[in-house]
Amino acid sequence: MNIFKTKKALQTHLDTYKQTHRIGFVPTMGALHKGHLSLIKKAKEENDLVVVSIFVNPTQFDNQEDLIKYPKTLQKDIDLLKTVNCDVVFTPDVSEIYNNQIVSESFNFGGIENEMEGKFRKGHFDGVGTIVKRLFEIVQPHKAYFGEKDFQQLQIIKKLVEITNLPIEIIPCAIFREDDGLAMSSRNTRLTKEQREAAPFIYKTLKKAKKKFGIKNAEKVTKWVQKKFKKNPVLELEYFVIADEHSLKQIDKKDKNNQPRAFIAVYAGDIRLIDNLAM
Ligand code: PAF
């Protein structure tokens, strides 16, 4: 496995493969878990060479405290990447990506950037768009892999390749869950024992909401979810929204013109957890 810290060294290495090898790319912020490894395994199956980036991108954090506390486990990540035969790891410093200007580009993703995560995390998707575009330009992969836990991010990235005309196929990968249903996330490692025990309530509530949505409209289901979380002493609901998978606009009822999916964001102390489920 080759590890590079600079764009130049990475690109020189990849140049020798570009003409003959299909390159798969998995961008990450490190603190890798089984969910990331499943993306890498899929990328290995579908490509000749797999590049993983590990970069905690400062511009996508709307909260400095969250950036500081974001788990950083580089050596452990590298050991894990060896177990799945990752070919190339790119671990740039902030200055390598941003020079001395740690600012985002401003994007118009057609409005999907203003829903849900965009409403609650100002500037988040400009930060995501900036880093993913830069990484795509550096790595120039044929395919790039993203988990559906960040479903809105996945839609944003599909839009990004469309508006920038980058010839990259975006491959969505199903959410990877713990045995008790909690969606895998790097942030889960920060949960206290009490918070970790409480957290599966998020997915359980999503599943119950799905059953209710067959009979009740979105407003009623949303009120039911809000009531459930009010009674939970450990988890605080930020939002629960049933929206169309493509427009990400809220919907009231299932019909032939929409594909409903429930989206949720919850705080356990200062740790923010998100999840979603097709309805
Ligand atoms: O999903 C993530 O880990 C990040 O948002 C990404 C796509 C690596 C960009 O920093």
Question: Best mutation site among 59, 72, 132, 188 for ligand 1, i.e. most ligand atoms within 8 A of its Cβ?
Answer: 132
Quick check: 25 pLDDT over 90?
yes
Neighbours of 88 (CB within 10 A): 21
d(CA 23, CA 14): 9
Q: Looking at residues 194-203, what average pLDDT do you find?
A: 98
Nearest atom, ligand 1, residue 56 CA: 10
- Residue 142 annotated as catalytic: no
Q: Which CATH superfamily is domain 2-173 in?
A: HUPs (3.40.50.620)
Nearest CA to ligand 1 atom 1: 28
Enumerate the domain spans of the chain: 2-173, 186-278
* For residue 136, pLDDT beyond 90: yes
The residue whose CA is least distant from atom 6 of ligand 1 is 28
Atom of ligand 1 nearest to the CA of 147: 1
Ligand 1 atom nearest 128 alpha carbon:
9
The whole-chain average pLDDT of the chain stands at 97
Q: Residue 187 C-alpha to ligand 1 middle, in angstroms? A: 13
Smallest CA separation from ligand 1 atom 8, residue:
28
Residue whose CA is at the smallest distance from ligand 1 atom 2: 28
Per-residue pLDDT band at 168 (split at 50, 70, 90): very high
Using DSSP, state whether 146 is helix, strand or coil.
strand
* pLDDT at 214 exceeding the cut of 90: no
Distance between Cα 129 and ligand 1 center (Å)? 10
Residues 13, 9: Cα–Cα separation, whole Å: 6
Residue-level pLDDT at 20? 95
Indicate the class that CATH gives domain 186-278. alpha beta
**CA-CA distance, 129 to 204, in Å (whole number)?**
32
Q: E-strand spans in the chain?
A: 2-4, 23-28, 49-54, 88-90, 143-147, 169-173, 235-244, 260-268, 271-278
> Which tens digit of pLDDT belongs to each residue from 229-253?
999 999 999 999 999 999 999 999 9
* End-to-end Cα distance, the chain: 41
Confidence band, pLDDT 50/70/90 cuts, at residue 7: very high
Range 146-155 average pLDDT = 98
Could you give the percent of the chain with pLDDT greater than 90? 97
pLDDT at 100 over 90: no
Question: How does pLDDT run across 68-98, given as a tens digit for each residue?
Answer: 999 999 999 999 999 999 999 999 999 999 9
Out of 36, 124, 142, 246, pick the active-site residue.
36
170-183 pLDDT, tens digit per residue, is 999 999 999 999 99
Helix (H) or strand (E) holding 159: helix 151-164
Mark 138-153 as b/e (b = at least 16 C-beta within 10 Å).
bbbbbbbbbbbbbbbb
Residue with tokens 């059953």: 211
Cα 173 to middle of ligand 1, angstroms: 14
Q: What is the arithmetic mean of pLDDT over 22-30?
A: 98
